[in-house]
């Protein structure tokens, strides 16, 4: 059959290498009249074919076009499985009815998804929609701010295929379709965190420390996969909006007091190491009496501006970071803990609209940049000299602006009408005829399996070859 045929037999229809035990061959005639080799897993053939049919399959040439024409009529279910589009997938999952209505109401986004080749959608289920009034997203929906809701929807769409099996115990941060600089200032688009926890439970993290659990993974459609999640992802907020959520009011107030708020809120690709309130209290009197320029220099030593955001996955042992104050920071990984200089990182990877922040247990001192970590003690003594404040006194908190605990809508321009009671009234009217019905008859989870588009294609191709055995038997 020639060199090309011998080479073809080494792989299956997806291009994956096969062992000798897995290879069988069938000759089928192409339009040019030449014979081509169609390999498939022997286990599939054994399930469908008798030994005599296997022998016939190896010998009998069959017109390829005629075979495909016959199978398209005889086995429409197989073809439909391979060509299921996004609308069909959403219609088959009854607990995505509200997400379907939301997605199809933004016709431009929905149409764009229809033309994608590799995309991952994190789809909140109906229970997640019921939680909106009680979340930080509530005001945006309640106030009919369609542009903000659009940004929320874009934040649930990830370029590329990200199957559940791709996540492990180390956080990864994947870019999303949220790139509008009204809502984000991260190079390449805002990210969502993903990690696999104990019991093979996948969790996605987003703004304000929000956690969304993957409950139905890897639903395939033409162009990508859908993961069903139990909570909405929240687009990350700016620094001043975020710090109160983690009881970092002293840091937020100090940034406001030193006129650093505009910088920390808007500068691109920031990494900020934020001392906990207790660190401010430990040297509170000295901080409060410190000249503004000196306090600003101290705070700048906690800010890194780089072309690469310092997510924990990028903070390897020995990494050197250059701060806004001019001095360097050194990352140490020891005793299963992350340190920056002598300070222990208490909480990692809290996403911001323009980067990320990490909570640390102590102040970093620009006059002592060479101090190293001591993992043997829970908390290093303060490098700064000063008198502590009482536990009930948190310095600088009074400088924080009021009303910083909900989704920030101040920079948005709500030009349309969209709210919790108006789902289905998006601002774009294109492809409105493609809207999926919110009523459906069944919910598919593929057995909770982890499949991607290539695996689906392999299964369909194997099934077609099995059907070929049956056709030959009839003949």
CB 417: neighbour CB atoms within 10 A?
12
The pLDDT tens digits of the residues spanning 72-99 come to 454 544 444 455 899 999 999 999 999 9
For residues 165 and 145, is the Cβ–Cβ distance under 8 A? no
For residue 107, the surrounding DSSP H or E stretch is helix 107-114
Residue 79, CA atoms < 13 Å, CB-side half-sphere: 9
CA distance 144 to 419: 4
pLDDT value, residue 143: 87
CA geometry: angle at 338 spanning 337 and 344, to 5°?
Answer: 90
Between helix 146-154 and helix 97-105 the angle, nearest 10°, is 110
Q: Tell me the C-alpha distance between 44 and 466, whole Å.
A: 6
Residues contacting residue 212 through CB under 8 Å, at least 6 positions apart: 122, 124, 128, 203, 204, 205, 206, 229, 230, 231, 232, 233
Q: How far apart are CA 407 and CA 410, in angstroms?
A: 9
pLDDT tens per residue, range 98-133: 999 999 999 999 999 988 989 999 999 999 999 999
Q: Cα separations (Å) of 319 from 275, 313, 316, 331, 340?
A: 20, 11, 6, 5, 9
Question: Among 472, 461, 474, which Cα is nearest to 44's?
Answer: 461
Q: Residue 65 is encoded by which pair of tokens?
A: 């076009």
Six-digit token string for 445: 């989870």
The predicted pLDDT at position 224 comes to 95
- Strands 27-29 and 62-63 come out as parallel
pTM, to two decimals: 0.71
Q: Name beta bridge partners: 63.
A: 29
Q: Which of 458, 455, 457, 459 is nearest to 166 (CA)?
A: 455
**Burial of 475 per CB tally in 10 Å (0-12, 13-18, 19+):** exposed
10-residue averages of pLDDT along the chain (475 residues): 42 43 37 41 40 47 49 48 82 96 95 93 97 92 91 98 96 97 95 96 97 97 96 97 96 96 96 97 93 96 94 95 97 95 97 98 95 90 86 92 58 30 33 28 33 39 43 45
Q: Which residues contact 50 (CB under 8 A, 6 or more apart)?
A: 473
pLDDT of residue 473: 45
pLDDT of residue 144: 81
Residues 400 and 241: their CA atoms lie apart, in Å, by: 10
Cα gap 51→61, rounded to integer Å: 18
What is the spatial distance between Cα 374 and Cα 367, in angstroms, rounded to a whole number? 19
CA atoms of 253 and 212, how far apart (whole Å): 30
Q: Measured between alpha carbons, how far is 229 from 124 in angstroms, rounded to an integer?
A: 5
| Residues in CB range of 84: below 8 A, 6 or more apart | 220, 221, 222
Strand blocks (E) in 25-138: 27-29, 35-37, 40-41, 62-63, 119-124
Strand partners, 196: 202
Nearest one of 460, 407, 452, 408 to 160, comparing CA atoms:
452
Residue 405: predicted pLDDT: 47
Q: Which pLDDT score is estimated for 392?
A: 86
Q: What beta strand segments (E) does 323-429 contain?
A: 328-334, 337-340, 343-352, 355-360
């Amino acid at each position: 059959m020639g060199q090309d045929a011998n080479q073809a037999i080494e792989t299956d229809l997806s291009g994956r290498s096969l062992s000798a035990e897995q290879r069988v061959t069938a000759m089928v005639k192409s339009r040019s009249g030449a014979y081509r080799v169609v390999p498939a897993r022997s286990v599939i053939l054994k399930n469908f074919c008798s030994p005599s049919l296997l022998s016939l399959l190896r010998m009998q040439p069959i017109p390829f076009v005629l075979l495909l024409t016959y199978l398209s009529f005889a086995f429409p279910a197989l073809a439909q499985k391979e060509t299921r589009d996004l609308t069909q997938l959403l219609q088959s999952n009854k607990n995505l009815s509200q997400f379907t209505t939301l997605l199809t109401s933004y016709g431009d986004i929905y149409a764009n998804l229809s033309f994608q080749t590799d995309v991952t959608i994190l789809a909140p289920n109906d229970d997640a929609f019921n939680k909106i009034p009680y979340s930080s997203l509530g005001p945006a929906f309640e106030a009919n701010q369609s542009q903000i809701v659009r940004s929320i929807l874009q934040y649930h769409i990830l370029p590329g295929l990200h199957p559940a099996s791709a996540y492990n115990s180390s956080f990864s941060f994947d870019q999303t379709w949220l790139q509008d600089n009204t809502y984000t200032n991260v190079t390449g688009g805002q990210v969502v965190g993903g990690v696999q926890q104990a019991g093979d439970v996948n969790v996605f993290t987003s703004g304000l420390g929000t956690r969304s659990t993957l409950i139905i993974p890897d639903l395939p459609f033409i162009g990508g996969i859908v993961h069903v999640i139990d909570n909405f992802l929240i687009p990350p907020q700016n620094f001043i909006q975020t710090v109160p959520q983690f009881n970092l009011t002293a840091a937020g107030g100090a940034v406001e007091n030193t006129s650093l708020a505009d910088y920390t809120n808007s500068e691109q690709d920031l990494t900020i190491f934020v001392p906990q309130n207790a660190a401010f209290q430990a040297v509170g009197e000295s901080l409060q009496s410190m000249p503004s320029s000196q306090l600003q220099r101290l705070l700048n030593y906690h800010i890194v501006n780089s072309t690469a955001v310092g997510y924990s996955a990028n903070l390897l042992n020995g990494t050197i970071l250059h701060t806004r104050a001019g001095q360097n920071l050194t990352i140490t990984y020891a005793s299963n803990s992350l340190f920056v200089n002598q300070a222990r990182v208490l909480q990692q990877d809290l996403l911001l609209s323009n980067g990320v922040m990490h909570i640390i247990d102590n102040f970093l001192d620009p006059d002592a940049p060479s101090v190293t970590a001591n993992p043997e003690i829970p908390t290093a003594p303060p490098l700064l000299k000063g008198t502590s404040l009482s536990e009930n006194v948190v310095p600088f908190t009074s400088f924080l602006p009021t009303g910083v605990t909900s989704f920030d809508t101040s920079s948005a321009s709500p030009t349309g009408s969209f709210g919790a009671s108006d789902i289905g009234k998006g601002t774009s009217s294109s492809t409105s005829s493609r809207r999926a019905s919110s009523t459906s008859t069944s919910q598919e989870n593929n057995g909770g399996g982890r499949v991607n588009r290539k695996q689906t294609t392999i299964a369909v191709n194997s099934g077609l070859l099995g059907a070929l055995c049956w056709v030959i038997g009839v003949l």
